Amino acid sequence: MTRLSVNINKIATLRNARGGNIPNVLKIAIDSQQFGAEGITVHPRPDERHIRYQDVRDIKPIITTEFNIEGYPTDSFIQLVLSVSPNQVTLVPDPPSAITSNAGWNTITHKDYLKKVVSVFREKGIRTSIFVDPNPEMVKYAADTLTDRIELYTESYATNYSMNPSKAIEPFVIAAESAKIVGLGLNAGHDLNLENLNFFAKNISNLIEVSIGHALIADALYFGLENTIQMYLKQLR
């Protein structure tokens, strides 16, 4: 059964816009877990424009569900992850100036670098996932890094879903099968929402986890956080 990890970055963005501690990021993490989230995801960036490094340190000891830290593996990010020791680290190739993640790793070009980074986390017993496009070649070479999982970048699926769902998901089905063949666990995320999530989950049989933030937090403005998390979980069941 596919797990739902709630990305709480947008809560931190709202807090930081005004200063202070409203909304309270730590309370949101606890509440999301209580409301059914099977994971909490954060994506700290070097400028700390949403989730701050201290938030990451503060969240780990107060939750019992899975903790997933996403980010580009700068030295400071690697040290943060090693000090916090989350359940999972997801390596994302976004530069510091990126508004949001917009591409997967080229696992051919960066294979040796990724293998080195993955080995650092494996020594600490931290599960690793590499953010990749739905390309069988990228999946194949991701396996050579000895990562535990990949996370499929689902923006193209979300963009094309309303025009032709079957065509939109086709490359993801192929990539998912490639992951199965090379023995990689499979996560997915980016622009998944209440409209397109169920179709995706039904057609990707080996999907372990989805990480959803922007759409879920936006829906929570209308439906409330507890109800929204339950609505997303329903799409996965």
pLDDT digits (tens, 9 = 90+) for 111-165: 999 999 999 999 999 999 999 999 999 999 999 999 999 999 999 999 999 999 9
For the segment 73-97, the average pLDDT, to the nearest whole number, is: 92
How much is the pTM? 0.94
Which of 38, 43, 110, 209 is catalytic? The answer is 43
Rounded (10°) angle between helices 25-34 and 9-18: 150
pLDDT digits (tens, 9 = 90+) for 153-180: 999 999 999 999 999 999 999 999 999 9
Taking the mean position of all CA atoms in its chain, how far away is CA 29? 15
| Per-residue pLDDT at 209 exceeds 70 | yes
- Judged by DSSP in three states, 125 sits in coil
Give the long-range contacts of residues 190-193, CB within 8 A, separation 24 or more.
Answer: 190/100, 190/101, 190/153, 190/154, 190/155, 190/158, 191/154, 191/155, 191/157, 191/158, 191/159, 191/215, 192/154, 192/158, 193/158, 193/219
- Decide if 110 is catalytic: no
- Which pLDDT value is given to residue 79? 97
- Report the 10 Å Cβ neighbour count for 168: 20
* CATH domain 3-212+224-236 topology: TIM Barrel (3.20.20)
Which of 70, 110, 151, 209 is catalytic? The answer is 70
- Decide if 190 is catalytic: yes
| CA nearest neighbour of 32 among 1, 86, 57, 68 | 68
8 Å CB contact between 120 and 154: no
Task: Quickly state the pLDDT bin for 85 (edges 50, 70, 90).
Answer: very high
